[in-house]
Amino acid sequence: MSETVVVVVPDADILASTVAARLVIKIIDAQAGRGWASVVLTGGRVAAKVLRSVKELPAADAVDWSRVDLWWGDERFLPAGDQDRNETQAREALLDALPLDPARVHAMPPSDGPDGDDAKAAAARYARELAAAAKPGSSELPHFDVLMLGVGEDGHVASIFPEHPGGYETGTVAAVHNSPKPPPTRISLTMPTIRTAEEVWLIAAGKDKAAPVGMAIEGAGPQQLPAAGAVGTDRTLWLLDRAAAANVPPKARSLR
């Protein structure tokens, strides 16, 4: 049975450093148990802050970074190196400073990659990359120890937007067209894929996130508010600063 935990900390800086600490410990624990760890990264402002905080953590030296698989929850379908790509931001914030195994860094294809600007073909390519790393017992997906998600002001997670066709996709990876948030073309893990992760961490800071966070925790429908559907198989962690938690009922908070 999956549990949901809501953690509230004072502000965005403390949120970033506490999420970074949790992430490093989660990776160390996974590596202690099985020798490797698998993390799904998210894009967005708070995610970049978290990654910069990991770089500052002395405990990050306890991770064997060459045995960490990195995947992305979504990507803005733009040329390689574009500053708005989630991959570019993650590399600049942290990845370029780590001794990662390049073969284990699974960025989503760019719009000038092998499939050109065909987002559907690029999404299918990423689905094949996931399938090639599939865990025993699954033909389609690897194990994800932790899958991190930012939460949009409209309640989107990854590139799954409210009442948008991507929310109804049943494959593992979807091409998203006409995204309400720029850029219009994106690639995203689908909700069924997100829900296979052992732990899903929804990370949000700032008052603009208070409404969607409050509604999702109170049980909104996942088509109206995708954040409400993002649940881990073992645990769903809401990691919030006080402003983002303003509409969370006190009984749902595990730490103030």
Ligand X SMILES: O=C1O[C@H](COP(=O)(O)O)[C@@H](O)[C@H](O)[C@H]1O
Binding-site ranges for ligand X (CB under 6 A):
42-46, 74, 76, 86, 149-150, 152, 158-159, 181
Q: How far is the CB of 72 from ligand X (least distance, A)?
A: 8
10's tokens: 């004072």
Which CB sits closer to ligand X, 31 or 216? 216
Burial label for 15, CB within 10 Å (0-12, 13-18, 19+), is buried
Residue 162 CB contacts under 8 Å (≥ 6 apart), including other chains: 154, 155, 156, 223, 224, 225, 226
Distance CA 200, CA 167 (A): 17
* Residue 70 parent element (H or E): strand 68-72
Q: How far is the CB of 249 from ligand X (least distance, A)?
A: 23
Which CB sits closer to ligand X, 43 or 167? 43
User: Is the omega angle on the peptide bond into residue 110 within 30 degrees of 0, that is, cis?
Assistant: no
Q: How far is the CB of 155 from ligand X (least distance, A)?
A: 10
Q: How many residues can be counted in the chain?
A: 256
Q: How far is the CB of 156 from ligand X (least distance, A)?
A: 7
- Residue matched to tokens 């893990």: 189
Residue 66 CB contacts under 8 Å (≥ 6 apart), including other chains: 99, 100, 101, 104
Distance CA 97, CA 99 (A): 7
Which CB sits closer to ligand X, 23 or 149? 149
Q: Are 253 and 245 in contact (CB under 8 A)?
A: yes
The phi and psi torsions of 91 (rounded to 5 degrees) equal: -65, -45
Q: How far is the CB of 173 from ligand X (least distance, A)?
A: 14
Which CB sits closer to ligand X, 39 or 46? 46
**Which residues pair with residue 235 across a beta bridge?**
3, 199
Which CB sits closer to ligand X, 142 or 150? 150
Q: How far is the CB of 186 from ligand X (least distance, A)?
A: 7
Rg (CA), the chain: 17
Which CB sits closer to ligand X, 154 or 198? 154
Q: How far is the CB of 139 from ligand X (least distance, A)?
A: 26
Residue 246 exposure: Cα atoms within 13 Å on the Cβ side: 11
Which CB sits closer to ligand X, 64 or 153? 153
